[in-house]
Amino acid sequence: MLNYRNTNIFFTLLLVALIAIHIAYGLPYYIYVILLFIYSLIVFWGCYYIGSGFFIRITCKAATDKKQIAITFDDGPAAAHTPEILDVLRKADVKAAFFCIGNRIAGNEIILQRVKEEGHIIGNHSFSHHFWFDLYSADKMIADLRRMDEAMERATGLRPRLFRPPYGVTNPNVKKAILRGGYTPIGWSVRSMDTVTKDSRKLLAKINGAIEPGAVFLFHDTCSSTLEALPAFIAEVKNRGYEIVPLDKLLHLRPYA
């Protein structure tokens, strides 16, 4: 399995072998540049592809043949669209998971309480969701995550176990924070790209084409295109004989501490 540890072992051994060859027979120095470039590409892939499991195993979909999927939302609670999305979900009798940003809870406590009361899962998406979050030290990361836990617990009485890394980025420090905090890391198998796709028709075509057993869809409850496409998406899922189930049920996970 390709992971951080095995990659480091392989490239270390390869480097030792190249140095030995270099000493014995000579090698052009650009070989080492190429080696560094290939190593960097692999690590970059591991950091930015959440399904790689490169640093830590992250659950991204369910291993099932049942016609079941889960839908998740990141970056709320947001006064602009979260209540309307909750209206859509309630009307369709669908339960979702909301991975919330802690610094958006203050002033939106009523929205978060509604998320809880209507039976949706609430997860940790960090407190700051800072652009440079993945460059934080492990200590700073865990402090950030615990700050989100505390804000959520004050608002809802619940303490999350499920954690989705900001931007889906992982690295050794993110792994340390997850393990030290006792979190269960959650990814996705279908990235809707709703933060980029502003045309709800294009968004709907993309997500409809990705419906398959065990899929976990990533949306953002901050996007108007998601709000516009969501009713038709839910209808299409049901028309195909699929069931939209809560994330914890689909993945067989305990959502709260």
Catalytic residue list: 74, 220
Q: Is residue 37 part of a domain?
A: yes
Instruction: Mark whether 43 and 73 lie in a shared domain.
Output: no
Q: What is the pLDDT of residues 117-168, one digit of tens each?
A: 999 999 999 999 999 999 999 999 999 999 999 999 999 999 999 999 999 9
Instruction: Mark whether 33 and 117 lie in a shared domain.
Output: no
Q: Is residue 63 part of a domain?
A: no
DSSP classification of residue 50:
G
Tally of domains within the chain? 2
Instruction: Mark whether 99 and 211 lie in a shared domain.
Output: yes
Instruction: Mark whether 31 and 76 lie in a shared domain.
Output: no
Instruction: Mark whether 108 and 179 lie in a shared domain.
Output: yes
Instruction: Mark whether 154 and 210 lie in a shared domain.
Output: yes
Instruction: Mark whether 97 and 17 lie in a shared domain.
Output: no
Domain span including residue 11: 4-48
Instruction: Mark whether 157 and 225 lie in a shared domain.
Output: yes
Instruction: Mark whether 28 and 76 lie in a shared domain.
Output: no
Entry pTM: 0.94
Domain containing residue 175: CATH number: 3.20.20.370
Q: What is the pLDDT of residues 25-83, one digit of tens each?
A: 989 999 999 999 999 999 999 999 999 999 999 999 999 999 999 999 999 999 999 99
pLDDT category at 190 given cuts 50, 70, 90 is very high
Instruction: Mark whether 97 and 206 lie in a shared domain.
Output: yes
Instruction: Mark whether 195 and 118 lie in a shared domain.
Output: yes
pLDDT at position 1: 77
Pairing label, strands 216-220, 190-191: parallel
Q: In angstroms, rounded to a whole number, what is the distance separating the alpha carbons of residues 218 and 243?
A: 17
pLDDT at position 97: 98
Instruction: Mark whether 121 and 226 lie in a shared domain.
Output: yes
Q: In angstroms, rounded to a whole number, what is the distance separating the alpha carbons of residues 26 and 10?
A: 22
